[in-house]
Amino acid sequence: MTDFLATGTLPDHYQQLAKTVRDFAQSVVAPVSAKHDEEHSFPYEVVAGMADMGLFGLPFPEEYGGMGGDYFALCLALEELGKVDQSVAITLEAGVSLGAMPIYRFGNEKQKQEWLPLLASGKALGAFGLTEPGGGSDAGATKTTARLDDGHWVINGSKQFITNSGTDITKLVTVTAVTGGGASKKEISSILVPVPTPGFTAEPAYNKVGWNASDTHPLSFDDVRVPEENLLGERGRGYANFLRILDEGRIAIAALSVGAAQGCVDESVKYAKEREAFGRPIGANQAIAFKIARMEARAHTARTAYYDAAAMMLAGKPFKKAAAVAKMVASEAAMDNARDATQIFGGYGFMNEYPVARHYRDSKILEIGEGTTEVQLMLIGRELGL
């Protein structure tokens, strides 16, 4: 899998997958992106199309209803979708990498059999509830509690900004909760909460700056009772396990970001050749050509960074630093390219129906979600022994 880093050429099956998703993004996603963005509506028909293609099962073995691929395959799909529609891409990213992956990594056989075929089919979505109103970067400051009562966990508290948590096909939210320990050393565990369960509420959706077609809600838990066996992974390992999920997730977000960065390049190249000012295409001006060349360099560098992190992960090597580097570099590339593309489009770049305007609004969250840029810098610094 890692050979392509040396040769610069992806093996055939990866190229084929990327092309299939690229075609789908162009023919099925692009025509409805502006509408869903404007209406803030969840793209159920697009999600059903991705489900039919098996994208929600990409990195899972066939025995659990997956496609038998790997995490890099998921990243390639996210890059292609991210070029066209970040809301659609994050719906897939969160569904697979945050919704289903914790069960694949940490679930027991019964939990895997119960949940993975359903989530891998894409007919149902799972969500990942870590962030709370009190803080996301300091996720260990969890206040949500779960206590054992007569063979059940009783969960109380709230979560904030949770992706895919309130759609018509959301069937599961995995949450972190304090299950014991003292004030100085909390015991945090993760627990599977099927949707619906009495006492669980997905509050009204947020009115966001971007990712308008992605589903995001605050969640409240009021004496939510789930069976004791819904504990996911070892008791007290919930926080550590979620951090591992986030390390992987950063590579996926980096891939999505590279897609956004590249989408801005592609749109800008086209526009710079077509749009004329002072009697010639604006791209004939070196100032514009240099701007686009720099955008291309950012996208290329960020892609190399996420390929590198994915290769390390799949080779079983430590990849925390590489994932943090990729996430930071790629999300900044997306934001910088979105700003430059908007400038190249002039006044049209400020019109919501133009893809670059959507990228401009959508890209900011890439520097915030699944660990802010500052959190990536903290992780990189720590890995350097600082």
From the list 40-48, 101-109, 127-135, 330-338, the region that binds ligand FAD by CB under 6 A is 127-135
- Out of 16, 26, 113, 137, the only residue in the binding site for ligand FAD (CB under 6 A) is 137
From the list 109-117, 125-133, 260-268, 338-346, the region that binds ligand FAD by CB under 6 A is 125-133
From the list 181-189, 269-277, 327-335, 361-369, the region that binds ligand FAD by CB under 6 A is 361-369
- Out of 163, 174, 331, 337, the only residue in the binding site for ligand FAD (CB under 6 A) is 163
Q: Counting contacts by CB under 6 A, is residue 86 touching ligand FAD? A: no
Asked whether the CA dihedral 147, 152, 156, 160 is positive or negative, the reply is positive
Q: Counting contacts by CB under 6 A, is residue 368 touching ligand FAD? A: yes
Annotated active-site residue in 114, 370, 374, 383: 370
Q: Length of the chain, please?
A: 386
Three-point CA angle 172, 86, 268, nearest 5°: 175
Q: Counting contacts by CB under 6 A, is residue 188 touching ligand FAD? A: no
Q: Counting contacts by CB under 6 A, is residue 136 touching ligand FAD? A: yes
List the beta strands (DSSP E) in the chain.
125-129, 145-149, 152-163, 170-181, 186-194, 200-202, 216-227, 231-232, 276-277, 280-281
From the list 11-19, 57-65, 122-130, 315-323, the region that binds ligand FAD by CB under 6 A is 122-130
Q: What's the closest the beta carbon of residue 382 comes to ligand FAD, in angstroms?
A: 11
Phi-psi region of 151 (alpha: psi -120 to 50; beta: other; left: phi over 0): left
Q: Among residues 66 and 102, whose Cβ is nearest to ligand FAD?
A: 102
| Beta carbons of 229 and 213 less than 8 angstroms apart | no
β-strand pairing of 152-163 with 170-181: unpaired
Give which of 218, 228, 137 is closest to 191, Cα–Cα: 228
Q: Among residues 178 and 375, whose Cβ is nearest to ligand FAD?
A: 375
From the list 12-20, 156-164, 271-279, 303-311, the region that binds ligand FAD by CB under 6 A is 156-164
| Beta carbons of 252 and 92 less than 8 angstroms apart | no
| Beta carbons of 228 and 249 less than 8 angstroms apart | no
Instruction: Point out which residues pair with 189 in neighbouring strands.
Output: 177
Q: What's the closest the beta carbon of residue 254 comes to ligand FAD, in angstroms?
A: 15
User: How many positions of this chain bind ligand FAD (CB under 6 A)?
Assistant: 24
Q: Counting contacts by CB under 6 A, is residue 131 touching ligand FAD? A: yes
From the list 78-86, 259-267, 301-309, 369-377, the region that binds ligand FAD by CB under 6 A is 369-377
Q: Counting contacts by CB under 6 A, is residue 128 touching ligand FAD? A: yes
Q: Counting contacts by CB under 6 A, is residue 322 touching ligand FAD? A: no
Binding mask 197-216 for ligand FAD (x = CB under 6 A): -----------x--x----x
Q: Counting contacts by CB under 6 A, is residue 380 touching ligand FAD? A: no
Q: What's the closest the beta carbon of residue 173 comes to ligand FAD, in angstroms?
A: 9
Q: Counting contacts by CB under 6 A, is residue 239 touching ligand FAD? A: no
CA 36, CA 45: separation in Å to the nearest integer? 11
207 exposure class (CB count in 10 Å sphere: 0-12, 13-18, 19+): exposed
CB neighbours of residue 385 within 10 Å: 5
Place of tokens 């950012």: 298
End-to-end CA distance of the chain: 32
Binding mask 91-120 for ligand FAD (x = CB under 6 A): ---x---x----------------------
Give 147-202 as a DSSP string: EEETTEEEEEEEEEEEETSSSTTEEEEEEEEEEEE-SSSEEEEEEEEESS-TTEEE
Q: Counting contacts by CB under 6 A, is residue 32 touching ligand FAD? A: no
> Is 45 one of the annotated active-site residues of the chain?
no
Q: Among residues 60 and 161, whose Cβ is nearest to ligand FAD?
A: 161
CB neighbours of residue 32 within 10 Å: 16
Contact residues toward ligand FAD (CB under 6 A) are 94, 98, 127-131, 135-137, 161-163, 208, 211, 216, 365, 368-372, 374-375
Active-site residues, by number, are: 370
